Amino acid sequence: MIKIIDGKKISAEIKEEMKIEIEELTKGGKRAPGLAVIIVGENPASKVYVNSKVKTCSALGIYSEKYNLDSEITEAELLKLIEELNNKEEIDGILVQLPLPKHIDEDKIIEAIKPNKDVDGFHPINLGKLVIGKNGFKSCTPYGIMELLKRYELDLNGKDVVIVGRSNIVGKPLAVMLTNENATVTLCHSKTKNLSEKTLNADIVIVAIGREKFLTEDMVKEGSIVIDVGINRNSLGKLCGDVDFENVSKKTSLITPVPGGVGPMTIAMLMKNTVKSRMEKI
Ligand code: GUN
């Protein structure tokens, strides 16, 4: 039988825990945590993610504001909105959905968000804090993966972990988080030589590159653990990850499905960061 890591179930548990935490927090008339979500343009995937984030806020008792901005908005106008939200009392977290249109400099936008409201954990200050092991906001997807591993009580001490994909959002911060938990991490990417050699030796393989069926069964060791971060659509329009699940799962001791693996954890951790931000102001 295939043993899966059930991100849907774990994220539901985390959200239940948070609901209680937020009820406690707002007792006696204290204001709820607040999240501002900004989306620029009409990217269909971004719309789905943003709507899901706003819906989850409302289910947990988190106040939210959604800003649907025209794709033609200038960088200066977007920076002005961020500045307003930086100074707005009811807002604890600001999230600008990526990608942004080409005429807007993403780095500049991320750096304009106050680090103590950067619930995405993308600001250089928060990334820097992560590297030196200080308490900041952790990027939601890698944070969600770490939480999954923790809740399945998987010991990372001395484990060989191979990550495929070196993005600033997933691969790089995840490599740091795993290193901080005493794993031995190999961070692979498009220029890596003999990738299979590396993945075949790994106790845990994590794939985040955005290519359907990239990780095949000949690339993984019997009994290993596979985490699939990909969200792709196949030729039939069906949602699928970066792993050839059907065949790879015959060899793994544990594997995340897509959908229902890492995806739901990302939103749960965003909510967790928003609550943390509110708590830090009390
Ligand atoms: N685009 C893809 N993933 C993310 C994410 O986690 N946060 C934001 N803001 N944009 C994204």
From the CA of 98, give the closest atom in ligand 1: 10
Atom number, ligand 1, closest to the C-alpha of residue 141 = 6
The SS3 assignment for 262 reads helix
239 - beta bridge partners?
233
Q: pLDDT at residue 282 above 90?
A: no
What is the average pLDDT across 30-44? 97
Confidence tier at 275 by pLDDT (50, 70, 90): very high
State residue 28's pLDDT score: 81
Residue 98 CB less than 6 A away from ligand 1? yes
136 is in an annotated binding site: no
282 is in an annotated binding site: no
d(CA 84, CA 63): 17
Whether omega before 115 lies within 30 degrees of 0, making that bond cis, reads no
- How far apart, in Å, are the Cα atoms of 247 and each of 8, 108, 240? 22, 43, 14
Residue 70 CA to its chain's centroid (Å) = 25
Respond yes or no: is residue 92 known to be catalytic: no
Longest dimension (CA), the chain: 60
Q: At 222, give phi and psi (nearest 5°).
A: -55, 130
Marked catalytic residue, from 6, 118, 120, 228: 120
Span 108-119, average pLDDT:
98
Q: Taking all residues of the chain, what is their mean pLDDT, rounded to a whole number?
A: 97
The closest residue, in CA terms, to atom 2 on ligand 1 is 98
CA of 197 to the centre of ligand 1 (A): 31
Whether residue 10 is annotated as binding a ligand: the answer is no
The candidate with the shortest Cα–Cα distance to 230, out of 162, 170, 143, is 170
pLDDT at 70 over 90: yes
Between the CA of 204 and the centroid of ligand 1 the distance, in Å, is 24
What are the pLDDT digits (tens) for 191-223? Answer: 999 999 999 999 999 999 999 999 999 999 999
pLDDT at 1: 87
pLDDT mean over 106-135: 98
Pocket test for ligand 1, best of 97, 100, 137, 267 (most atoms within 8 A of CB): 97
- What pLDDT, on a 0 to 100 scale, did the predictor assign at position 6? 98
> What tokens does 260 get?
């229902």
Residue 60 has pLDDT above 90, yes or no: yes
Give me the sign of the Cα torsion angle 85, 88, 91, 93. positive
Nearest alpha carbon to residue 278 among 56, 13, 25: 25
276 belongs to the catalytic site: no
How much is the pLDDT for 250? 98
Question: Residues 57, 92: contact at Cβ < 8 Å?
Answer: no
Domains along the chain?
29-114 (3.40.50.10860), 140-263 (3.40.50.720)
Dist. CA 18–CA 194, nearest whole Å:
43
Q: Cβ(273) to ligand 1 under 6 A? A: no
Between strands 204-207 and 225-228, the pairing is parallel
pTM for the whole structure: 0.97
Cα of 97 to ligand 1 centre, how many Å? 5
As a whole number, mean pLDDT of residues 88-114 equals 98
pLDDT at residue 43 tops 90? yes
Contacts of 264 (CB under 8 A, 6+ apart): 7, 8, 11, 12
Chain-centre distance for alpha carbon 192: 24
Report percent pLDDT > 90 for the chain.
98
Judge whether residue 91 has pLDDT over 90. yes
| Atom nearest to 270 CA in ligand 1 | 6
> What's the DSSP call for residue 100?
P
Whole-angstrom distance, CA of residue 24 vs CA of residue 17: 11
Q: What does the CA dihedral 196, 201, 204, 207 come to, rounded to 10 degrees? A: -10
Tell me the average pLDDT across 18-34: 95
